[in-house]
Each structure stands twice: as C-alpha cells, then as structure tokens.
Structure 1
Amino acid sequence: MADDGSRARPIPQGRPGTSGSGGAEDDDVFIVDTRGRGRTTPPRPARREAEPAGRTPAPRHTPGERRRPQQRIPAPTEPTMRRLDDQGRPATTMPPPRPPQASRPLTAEQPTPPRPPRRRRPLRWAVLALVVVLAYLLGVPLHAYSEVTRVNAAPAGDRPAPGKGSNYLLLGSDSREGLTAEQLDEMATEQVEGNRTDTVMVLHHSDSGPSSLVSIPRDSYVPIPGHGTQKINAAFAIGGPQLMAATVEQATGLRLDGYLEIGFGGFAGVVDALGGVNICVAQPMDDPMAGINLQPGCQVLSGPTALGYVRARHSDPRGDIGRAERQRQFLSAVVKAIATPSTVLNPVTYWKVTHAGAAGVRLGEDTSLSETVTMLSTMRSVSSGDGNSLVVPLKTTALQTKNAGVAVQWDKERALALFEALQRDDPLTAPPAGTDGVPSG
C-alpha cells in the first residue's frame, strides 16, 4: 500500500562520519511532520538492544575525549553462568550445594565439654557422722560436768600474789558419802564422822615449759591458819576445803587457781567403769587395814582393790612417802586408761566413766570450766611423761612432835626454792634436787 503522506515517518540518522546530520548520536531519532506543519516532536530515547550476557556495554564518549582502553572482564565460571538466564536475568535455579567439609580435630583452644557432676552424698554422710561423734564426745562430759557437786574452796584472809602459770589443789578424801554397807565392807572400811585427806597434791600448769605435779605427804607438819602447827591433813578435818586451801597457800607461797576433790566412791566407780586398771606392783603388799593382799607383778585391779592399793602404808616400808608415790603412779594409769580409744570411742564406757567421775568429784565454786579442762589436760600431760612428778623436798619422815605424834618435816631451803621456781614459772627441764622423796636429813 502506497504511502499517501498523511503519516509522519521516522527518518533514520546516520552515525558520525556518515551521511546524514553529522553530530547526532546514533541512538537519537527525530520525528518529522511531513504534512508541512513545521512541528518537530522532541526526541525520545530509543530502546537499546539487549547485549549478550557477560558483555559490558561500551562507555560513551565525546568526539574530543580520548577513548580509554576497555578493561577485560574474565569469563565467568560455570557456577556464575548458571545464575543468569539467556537475557541476563538471575536464574531461578540455585547453585549446587557445597560438598561437606571434613570436621577439624579438637584443639586446646576449643572449649572442652563440662564434666559430669560428682556424687557428694558419701562426703555429706561422712561430715554428718563426724559432727555426731564430736557432739557426743563434747556433750557427754558437759552433761557430767553439770552434775558435779560444788564446794566453797576459796581461802579466807590474806593470799599470795598471783604468779605465772596456774596452780590447782588436788585432794583425795576418805569421804564415804553415798556408799552402801556392802561397798564399805568390800573396801575394808566403815562409816566415820568427818572427812580426812589421804592425798594432797599441787598441780602446776606451766606456760614456759613442762608442767609439774608435786605430792605433799599427808603427815607434813605445817602451820594451819588459826590452829597452830599440825599435820596438814588435819586442816581438812577442821575447816574443810577452805582451810585446807588456805593452809597449802601459806605453806607453799603459791596462789591456787582451782580445786578438785575425789572421794572413795568416785575413785572406785571410775576404776570399775574402766573395767579395771593395769598396775605393776613392785613388792608384796599384805595390808588388812587397806583390804589388800597383792603379789609382785603387773595385774588388773578392780575399784575396791585399787582404792586399797593407793591407801596402804603399813605394808610399805617407806610409809607415807611410798603411798604418795603409788598415788601418783595410779593417777597416771587412770588418766591413760580414760584417754584410750577403747574408752573414748565406746559410747557405753565413755558415759559410765564420765558420770562415775562426776558422781565422786567435788569442784571449787570458783573453778571454771576452762580451768577444769586445763587441770585435766595437765594431769594427762604429766602422766604421759611430758611433765615432772615430784615430792616436796623432805628433811625427815620421823619428826617427833608434842601434839601430832610422828610427822614429816620438810627441807625448808629446798622446798622454798622449788615453790619459788613454780611461782616464777621457771621451766623445770629436770626434777630439782630433793624432789625424789628421799629425805635430806
């Protein structure tokens, strides 16, 4: 069909350097009105042809601009080519999955897995058992301590100045209080009026060296405050614990910090609760007044027999001195037996021993719990060989007196030196001279 000239037709323009309107771009198109109206429509951009995939469009430049060399782009790899379709658009298919990588071995820098929790139940049971044992070991003696009889043993009048260390008065009385007729018969004794002392000791707890246990013979001839000079055991019969403590303080120059007294019943009860005490008898002892007939050798003594052993003096050629030595020997054996595991770890025995001792013991009203513990621990130390077991220095054991018969006389010079050393708390690494019980006169 022939063109009638009624429609406007686009006039293609040539590229630069060709025929046509010289400076126009090859992409510009002009619409000319062939009807002669003289109007020219503004140019509209022509649609660019799609360039092949992977090809970069050539940069535009002006006629006078120096053309830059084009940078070559490396050919895309196979995965990249798959991401584009034929028209340069992203492909709908996903790239193939990457092959799994081998796991790296664990190194020191990587965190280690937490350890499984330990089972602590056995430890808890062990701690609970330990608490129960400690409660029993402490609770039983505290209960027994609460039942101990208290007496007024504080000396009246002037007293020595306090020294270093601590001093305690230990008495063994012949009190029969609480004993039945059968028990009295077994002990070869009977009820008597008043109380007397068969054992007098001063226990010195040292802060600078070994502690010391000093025996004072019961027949020692000393001044008794307000009652002249008599045998020392008379002080207890006259004025009880107070006068006895005052007499010992005046005779020794030591200030007493505590008081402990044990009677016949308490002594025998502790021995029987222990099941007897092993004692090595040095010589034959046949003493009807003490109710014993013992042969030489080591043997286990029951309560009544042990009481006769420490009381006897008529069967001992050394008399009161030999008795004082046996008393220290037996006290050491009893303390060792109490401290053995077979006693402490046996609930029945432990209960019997502590309460038998509490039943026969009397403490001073001013003797505190801490002082009682110190007293007992010091006795244990001396009995185990870590201290000194002494006798007050003597001059003679056959002093004739006008009012007390035959008595024991101290070596005043040596006795004074001993008690002054204890007052100063000098470390006694060896027994001082004259403290072996052998008279110097």
Structure 2
Amino acid sequence: GAAPPTRTSPARPGELPEAPRPRRRRRRAVVVAALVLAVLLAWPLGLVLWADSRLEHVEATSGAAPTAGTTYLLAGSDSREDGVIEDSETTGARTDTIMLLHVPESGPAALISLPRDTYAEIPGHGAAKINASFSYGGAPLLVSTVEGLTGMTIDHYVEVGFGGITDVVDALGGVELCLDQDVNEPLSGLVWTSGCHVSDGTTALAFARMRYADAQGDIGRAQRQQQLIAAITGEAASPAVLDPRRQVSLVRAGTGALAVSDDTSVVDLGRLALAFRSATGPEGITGTPPIATMDYQPGGVGSTVLLDPDLTPAFFTDIREGSLPPGPVGGLD
C-alpha cells in the first residue's frame, strides 16, 4: 500500500512551522562559508590599503617620454649620520646601492647593478662618481643621471633606507645568505665563516655593505646585494608569511624602510617583487654593464669605475629591447 504521510509537529500559536533540519544545516553552512570568504577577501585588501597609506612618497621621476617596457630604479640610501661611511669624497646623503630593474615588452627581465663609483655625467655638475648625484640633488638628480647613462626612462623609483633592511630581515625571521670565504672586516662589521648561513638583519646589512675584503670590490658587493634582495623576496613569498601577525610585522618594517616615487603604489611594488624574482631566476639576466677598468682616475674625484665606452650604449639598448639571452652579463672586459 501507499506509505503513510509524513507528520510534523503542529506549530504553536504565533510560530511558523519548523523547517526540516537538513535545510537549516545547509543554511548555516552557507552563512559560515560566506563569512569565511568575506574575511579572506577583506584581510588582504585591508592589508594592501594599510600598507599603501604608510608609504612615503618623494619627488623622483623626471617626466621624460617613456621608453619601451617598465623600468624601476632601486637605490639604497644612507647618510653620514647613520654610522658606517666608506666614501670620503662624498658628503651628506648618498647611495651605495644603485640597481636598474627592467621588464621589456618581450624577452627576459634584467637586474643590472650600477657600481656606486661609476664615472658618469651628472647634469649640472659635470662628470663624477654616479652616487655623488644623490648627494648633490637627491632622488631627482640620481634618476636623471641614470636616464642619461642608460637611455632608459625610469618609471618607478624605490629608495631603501639601509637601517630598514635590518628591520625587514628580522621581520622575516632571517634570510639565508652564501659567501665562499671567511671575512672579518671592521669597516662593514661583517664577520663571516665560509658557506651559507641564516643571517639576522645586522649581519645581512653588513653582508650587503662589505667590499674591502672582496677581491672583486664593487662587483662582488653588487652580487651580494642582488643575493640579499633575492633572499628577501623569496622569503617574503614563503608559506610562513601567511601568518597574519608576521604579515603585519613585515608590512610595518617594509613600508618604514621605503620611499617611493609619487606615482608608485603598493601594487607597483608587488609587480616589482615579481619582476625581481623573474630577473634573478634561471630565465632572467643579472650583472653589471661592461666595465673597462675598476681604477679609472680622471683627477679630482678619486678612483672610479669606467664603463666600456664602446660596448655600454649597445648593452643598454639590448636590455631595453629584451634581446639578450638569460644569464650573467657585464663585469670586466
């Protein structure tokens, strides 16, 4: 015979009939899922907005007509009041780290270090060490000098205070760095045993600054600076940084260490980080421009690094157009 009809308890006066329990459970599950999704979406958005509000913006870019691709200028800034100063000829604020990061329209991304003692024409000041441009006129003059040297318009300028590097590395819990020699250099403060070590912020900063115990001088220092930033960007992308508390600490340390050009946002910094990882990966280009000599002495400015006048213009054209194959480039001829 037919199955008996399903019976439900009669509703009390003023109450709606009770919904079947499976339907209530599904509703609760949907509400919980919606709340979790809202939190997951709101947290990164809020973090980005907070980070963007903390960024210090400075006048830097020249307004020159753009060149192909996207070009970032990264400068490590310091001042004579900050402690370790290795340049007796340059007074006041200056930059020991100058890196050009270029993403062409097609071809490999490139990270090119410009040695701080590179002999270059500084607009309004004549030829001198390239880092003197920062001392003479801050970020705008450094940008103009690099544009004149490379023929590439700077789209985004990022200045990293050396003291901030310590905070960023410590917020990450340290980074692994490698150097195949023992070092005990009082000027930079680096004490190192040959091999790879997880380094705290103080050691990482000394690692990036050291040059007098390196037979390659500025070239060796440029390689270590590139290694340090690659280590920072790699560690910042690790699963450990998914911890919200660590994210907050890293954003606080990172934004406290940075000053960026007026039209540069946290989103642009995210693109920069991706470009940096691409350039330092197996399909990227890293190195320096072609160097003729590390001890060019034109008079009046001490010993400088002379870029090869015959090879350098074509080198930067190839970087801009993305026509060089991946791998290391530049160095001494």
Q: Structure 1 length as normaliser, TM-score?
A: 0.65
Q: Tell me whether 1:429 sits opposite 2:325 in the alignment.
A: yes
Q: Tell me whether 1:399 sits opposite 2:303 in the alignment.
A: no
User: Which of 41, 57, 67 pairs up with 1:163?
Assistant: 67
Residue 389 of structure 1 corresponds to which residue in structure 2? 286
Q: Secondary structure at the match of 1:393?
A: strand
Give the Å deviation of 1:193. 6.5
CA distance in 1, matches of 2:232, 2:53: 22
Listed one character per residue, the Cα deviations across residues 294-329 of structure 1 (whole Å, up to 9, x for unaligned) are 011111111111101100001111101100010001
Amino acid at match of 1:153: A
Equivalent pair of 1:393/1:411 in contact (CA under 8 Å) = yes
Residue segments in structure 2 that go unaligned for 5+ positions in a row? 3-21
> Relative to 1, partners in 2 of residues 1:395 and 1:273: Cα closer, same or farther, differing over 3 Å?
same
Residue 305 of structure 1 corresponds to which residue in structure 2? 203
User: Which of 57, 68, 78 pairs up with 1:150?
Assistant: 57
Q: Tell me whether 1:315 sits opposite 2:315 in the alignment.
A: no
Amino acid at match of 2:219: I
Paired residue total = 310
Equivalent pair of 1:335/1:380 in contact (CA under 8 Å) = yes
Residue 339 of structure 1 corresponds to which residue in structure 2? 237
Amino acid at match of 1:234: A
Q: Tell me whether 1:248 sits opposite 2:146 in the alignment.
A: yes
**Aligned positions of 1:228-239 closer than 5 A:** 228-239=126-137
CA distance in 2, matches of 1:175, 1:122: 57
Amino acid at match of 2:259: R
User: Which of 203, 206, 226 pairs up with 1:328?
Assistant: 226
Larger relative helix fraction:
2
Residue 172 of structure 1 corresponds to which residue in structure 2? 76
Listed one character per residue, the Cα deviations across residues 119-159 of structure 1 (whole Å, up to 9, x for unaligned) are 25335424432331232223223212211111110338xx4
Q: Structure 2 length as normaliser, TM-score?
A: 0.86
Give the Å deviation of 1:394. 1.1
Q: Secondary structure at the match of 2:287?
A: strand
Listed one character per residue, the Cα deviations across residues 340-363 of structure 1 (whole Å, up to 9, x for unaligned) are 1101x1111111111111011001
Query: Relative to structure 2, which stretch is displaced further, 144-153 or 121-130?
Result: 121-130
Q: Tell me whether 1:138 sits opposite 2:27 in the alignment.
A: no
Equivalent pair of 2:48/2:266 in contact (CA under 8 Å) = no
Amino acid at match of 1:242: P
Residue segments in structure 1 that go unaligned for 5+ positions in a row? 1-101, 104-115
Q: Tell me whether 1:125 sits opposite 2:32 in the alignment.
A: yes
Amino acid at match of 2:180: A
Give the Å deviation of 1:273. 0.8
Amino acid at match of 2:247: Y
CA distance in 2, matches of 1:328, 1:305: 15
Q: Tell me whether 1:411 sits opposite 2:315 in the alignment.
A: no
Q: Tell me whether 1:350 sits opposite 2:243 in the alignment.
A: no
Percentage of identical aligned residues? 41
Amino acid at match of 1:149: E
Give the Å deviation of 1:427. 4.4
Residue 36 of structure 1 corresponds to which residue in structure 2? none
Query: Relative to structure 2, which stretch is displaced further, 367-376 or 228-237?
Result: 367-376
Amino acid at match of 2:269: T
Query: Relative to structure 2, which stretch is displaced further, 386-395 or 226-235?
Result: 386-395
Q: Secondary structure at the match of 2:318?
A: helix
Residue 197 of structure 1 corresponds to which residue in structure 2? 95
Listed one character per residue, the Cα deviations across residues 340-399 of structure 1 (whole Å, up to 9, x for unaligned) are 1101x1111111111111011001113245433322221233244442222111111121
**Aligned positions of 1:80-95 closer than 5 A:** none
Give the Å deviation of 1:234. 0.3
Give the Å deviation of 1:282. 1.6
Amino acid at match of 2:104: S
Listed one character per residue, the Cα deviations across residues 46-70 of structure 1 (whole Å, up to 9, x for unaligned) are xxxxxxxxxxxxxxxxxxxxxxxxx
> Relative to 1, partners in 2 of residues 1:404 and 1:193: Cα closer, same or farther, differing over 3 Å?
closer
Q: Which has the larger radius of gyration?
A: 1
Equivalent pair of 2:52/2:265 in contact (CA under 8 Å) = no
Larger relative strand fraction:
2
CA distance in 2, matches of 1:292, 1:394: 27
Q: Secondary structure at the match of 2:246?
A: helix
> Relative to 1, partners in 2 of residues 1:301 and 1:420: Cα closer, same or farther, differing over 3 Å?
same
